Structure 1
Amino acid sequence: MSDCVDTTSKFILLYLLLLLSPLAVAAQPLTITVSEYPPYHSKDLPSFGINAQIVTAAFESQDVEIEYIQMSTWKEAFDYAAQGKADAAALWEYNQAHKQDFLISDPVYKISAHFFYNRKMDFDWRRVSDLKGYNISALTGGYYGDAFEAAEKTQEIKVVRVYDEVENVKKLVDGSIDLAPLYITSFNYVLKTQGLGDRRAEFTYHPKPLFTNSVHLLMPKANPQSQYNMVLFNEGLKVIKANGALQSILNVHLNYR
């Protein structure tokens, strides 16, 4: 009889642990990988930058603490999280291929990238094929839309990938490249922080965006708690969109035009 009671008690305890495990996990700080992409992400910015502030605010509304893991490159940040070594990776532009390894959050906000170039250059484009013959520099791990990625892969267009957006901007300034797909905010931020603000008037960007995309939090499928954690984030995202906190962060920190 006692053996039967002990077995029953073990099953009840196991059931309670399984039932309460999401709550127990949620009570621990969630780890999120980031890398350098100021002013959106940076170890040198308050609260790790704009995107981290948004993610933190969303989780704080759900009483969840966050701990950021700074990685050397975006590829490392992506791979580390994909392996389930962190609870999430923040924030990434929507890419269908990410569904292989990650759950993808609701859209956080939209962002557009434009081709920057020296004003002295006669540049116009309507389709990716118009980019033939130009020297283009882009970010390693960056996603620039299906058409651009396909043309780069087939070498229809000439693209050099670098690990740092600062390098892209400096290449434009020194004339070693013709074009760089950049966010307006990022371009202006780099010029200011690198002491190149007086060169801003020499450059412009094409009004046609290379792409407009949404950014998302990624949570690894390898982590059994990801589905529960994603519900928390999406609920928190609704809260900060409704109360204006998300827009307030964007308004304050994206004023680099």
Structure 2
Amino acid sequence: MNNGVTLSGSASGLSKETECTAKVLILEDEESIRSFVVVNLKRSGFQVVETDNGDDALRILRSDLSIDIALLDVMVPGIDGFEVCRQVREFNEKIGILFLTAKVQEQDKVMGLSLGADDHMGKPFSPAELMARVQSLLRRVRLVKMDASSADTFVSGPFELHPKSNQLFKLEQRIELTPTEFALIRFLMERRNVPVSRDELLDSIWGVNYVGDPKIVDVNIRRVRQKIEEDPSHPVYVEAIWGFGYMWKESTE
């Protein structure tokens, strides 16, 4: 290990496409856990960059924008995982961020998600659950990075959503979105004026095998409202359907 950082290659026998496009950074100071995660990622064909401290993690993420997903522990040497996440979101909205941490209290989950994380897993966790979460997040990341799509531009009131470039504009001003936020808005906007249940959102965006806290939907909705609504406490576009889910309300503004 060099300054707490190691680059590991992908497992043999995998396609060149997988090797070139799927790269994960793991920030974890417990070597046994980090090795466990690295082995499982490599077996699934990921390139892996590993580090045991927050300062190196942030430096790597600033210098290598080809990393698709960051797996972050919270309590690590240097700056903690929360601060890494916060700073990363200032310069990279497209990377997927998943917290792997023993801090599983409700306020810790909400803190991570509110800072821009896409998902949260408590320790201990199984290899199957880890890879299911990573693969689900990778699908969202790839959707955001995709340069081509057969879908047309979606227009709703002051908003234009461009699937081909994976961008959202409000009154011609671009709104920076994480992969999960973009997937969420696109899913709702495609079904404008149609209520969508939380379960449908979970299955479609986080995957049918998602076993985490379903409140992740509500946390991401709050984040989206903060970015697109004039007054997030009185939303106009993303409407809550009490006891059911959410709906993108068509606007004629």
Q: TM class by shorter-chain length? A: under 0.3
* Greater helix share, structure number: 1
The one of the two structures with greater contact order (alpha-carbon pairs below 8 A, sep at least 6) is 1
Computing the radius of gyration from Cα coordinates, the structure with the larger value is: 1
TM-score (norm 2): 0.26
TM-score (norm 1): 0.26
